[in-house]
Amino acid sequence: MNEPLSKIPNGLRYYYAREARVRRAIEVTAMSIFEGWSYEEIVSPTLDYYPAFEQGMGKQEANRAFRLTDGDGWLLALRPDVTSSIARAAATLLAKSARPLPLCYSANVFHQQSQSHADW
């Protein structure tokens, strides 16, 4: 099946001009507010082991993830959720840090949708 080069996959979209600027401004504003409250930003990997998402968000929701395998045959997924990765970082990487952990994040998530949201 060959899709025309002028189309993008269902569920994906472009953000263009004003919409892209508004989206960026909201992100910058939110992150600066968190910084003002002394939250520390954390950035999670875009790819992770698929079972981590199954455990973190449940099998049904994780099943909507875009999956692929690495060179060693491990099942990976583009992150369909950020919270699972942040929780693991809190439990491992930041295990000895004082609680509560004032963390904030902003990241794209990827999950399969039945149709595109593109308006143009």
75 occurs within a structural domain: yes
* Bigger pLDDT: 115 vs 61: 61
4 occurs within a structural domain: no
84 occurs within a structural domain: yes
Cβ neighbours of residue 74 closer than 8 Å, sequence gap 6 or more: 49
What is the average per-residue pLDDT within 114-119? 52
CA dihedral of 112, 113, 114, 115, whole degrees rounded to 10:
-130
pLDDT at 120: 44
**Total structural domains within the chain:** 1
pLDDT in tens, 26-83: 999 999 999 999 999 999 999 999 999 998 888 988 999 999 999 999 999 999 999 9
pLDDT at 1: 65
112 occurs within a structural domain: no
12 occurs within a structural domain: no
55 occurs within a structural domain: yes
Burial bucket for residue 85 (CB in 10 Å: 0-12, 13-18, 19+): buried
User: Whose CA is closest to 64, among 55, 77, 83, 46?
Assistant: 77
- 8 A C-beta contact, residue 51 and residue 84: no
Q: Model's pTM, two decimal places?
A: 0.80
114 occurs within a structural domain: no
Domain interval for residue 91: 18-104
CATH number of 41's domain: 3.30.930.10
69 occurs within a structural domain: yes
pLDDT in tens, 73-113: 999 999 999 998 999 999 999 999 999 999 999 999 998 87
